Amino acid sequence: MLKHAKLGKFSTRLALISGLLAGAAVILHRLHVVAFQFALPVLAVSTLCGLIAALLGISGLFVAMRQRKSALSSLTGSLLGFVVAMPTVFTLLAASGLPRIHDISTDLDNPPQFTAVPALREATDNPLDRLKPDNLTQLQQAGYPDLKPLQLKRPAPALVFDQALQLAESRGWAIAAASADLGTIEATAVTPVMAFKDDVVIRIQRNGEHTQVDMRSVSRVGVSDLGANAVRIRDFLNDLQQSLN
């Protein structure tokens, strides 16, 4: 068999295996069959296999071009390999340089507290005491200096509360508690791919002539959230402000 044909077939097979590994890791984790400690390493292996398949496919393409032979199998392998590997690669690249933390708050001096959510969490989940790492505040300030409380001039706290609750429900978050009197909303968000659970608390209160909205988002598992909690807070507060204009 010609060299390019061997490369093409091997890259395609390896890409298919990597796709099956990635799909199995995601589906089995979403179905709670395997823990994230197992699913993530399998996903890492599938990403590595996808990259290798893509490189082998590209090598097969060059060989086929020199030999003036069909490069379909090599092209298939390289494309499938990239399709499998790129989502994880892009996610890691986007998170490079971000702090390895998973508890983000707009108020670092007096973070909103959870009262209902702790009863829904497992003993092995990340703690909510914000004691680790020791420099959590400094890490967040360095990584997400733009995160701060939302200050609203006109709407009364009751109106802001109603809109915030509606917005949280529209995102599909599971509402654990909502108190208009306290101005707090607690909910759980689920990430779209791996179905990781992140807990959210929103605090709405009068601050002089303004209505102040603070938000905290905490991942239940993992050391780094890859920036997900900061994005969630930023997007929610932006949407809330837009909806009240």
CA distance 30 to 26: 6
Alpha helices in 31-149 (DSSP H): 36-67, 72-95, 136-143
**Same-domain status, 132 and 190:** yes
**Same-domain status, 173 and 107:** yes
Cβ-Cβ contacts under 8 Å for 82 (sequence gap 6 or more): 50, 54
DSSP assignment string, 111-122: PPPPSSGGGGS-
**Same-domain status, 123 and 79:** no
Q: Of 64, 95, 126, which residue sits at a domain end?
A: 95
**Same-domain status, 170 and 147:** yes
- Among residues 155, 163, 188, 162, which one has the least CA distance to residue 240? 163
In terms of pLDDT, which residue wins out, 96 or 148? 148
Domains in the chain, number: 2
Whether pLDDT at 1 is above 60: no
**Same-domain status, 137 and 198:** yes
CA distance 150 to 168: 16
Compute the mean pLDDT over every residue in the chain, rounded to the nearest whole number. 93
pLDDT by residue (tens digit) across 157-175? 999 999 999 999 999 999 9
Establish whether the linkage from the previous residue to 112 is cis, with ω within 30° of 0. Answer: no
CA distance 121 to 149: 26
**Same-domain status, 127 and 82:** no
**Same-domain status, 140 and 182:** yes
Cβ-Cβ contacts under 8 Å for 111 (sequence gap 6 or more): 105, 130, 214, 216
What is the average pLDDT across 38-51? 96
Q: Give the residues across from 214 on adjacent strands.
A: 203
- Structure pTM? 0.87
Q: Of 51, 69, 95, which residue sits at a domain end?
A: 95
Whether pLDDT at 116 is above 90: yes
Token reading at 220: 């239940």
CB atoms within 10 A of CB 126: 18
Q: Please report, for the domain that includes residue 145, its CATH number.
A: 3.30.530.50
**Same-domain status, 61 and 77:** yes
Alpha-carbon dihedral angle through residues 22, 27, 29, 30, given to the nearest 10 degrees: 140
CA distance 243 to 160: 10
What range defines the domain where residue 139 resides? 103-244
Q: Quote the pLDDT of residue 60.
A: 83
**Same-domain status, 108 and 161:** yes
**Same-domain status, 68 and 186:** no
Whether pLDDT at 2 is above 50: no
Q: Quote the pLDDT of residue 21.
A: 97
In terms of pLDDT, which residue wins out, 153 or 116? 116
**Same-domain status, 51 and 130:** no
φ, ψ of residue 66 in degrees (nearest 5) = -70, -35
Whether pLDDT at 71 is above 90: no
In terms of pLDDT, which residue wins out, 217 or 4? 217
**Same-domain status, 162 and 221:** yes
- The type of residue at 14 is L
Residue bearing tokens 């590209």: 58
Which helix (H) or strand (E) segment is 189 a member of? strand 184-190
CA distance 49 to 15: 7
Q: Of 29, 60, 95, which residue sits at a domain end?
A: 95
